Amino acid sequence: MGIPGRDTKAAMSRFVSTYGVGNMPHLPDENGDLAAQLGVSYHPRWLLIRADGTVERGGGVPPDNIVQDALTPG
């Protein structure tokens, strides 16, 4: 799930379009509280939190294999 934040919903929508990350759901974080709790200090940044609790992090647009992994049940 994408968490665009610290801006208006319209600006967040433009960000999603600009960076080509519309292939996953997004949860607006207008005041940045959720990003702060997850340790995200800049955008674009991504985190994949797996069911076993392991976390994979990266900057920029998430690689297709990460998005596919995140959306695959199991």
Tens of pLDDT, residue by residue over 22-56, are 877 888 888 889 888 888 887 778 888 877 888 88
The rounded mean pLDDT for the chain is 82
Helix, strand or coil for residue 17? helix
Q: Report domain extents, the chain.
A: 9-71
Ramachandran area for residue 68 (φ above 0: left; ψ -120 to 50: alpha; else beta): alpha
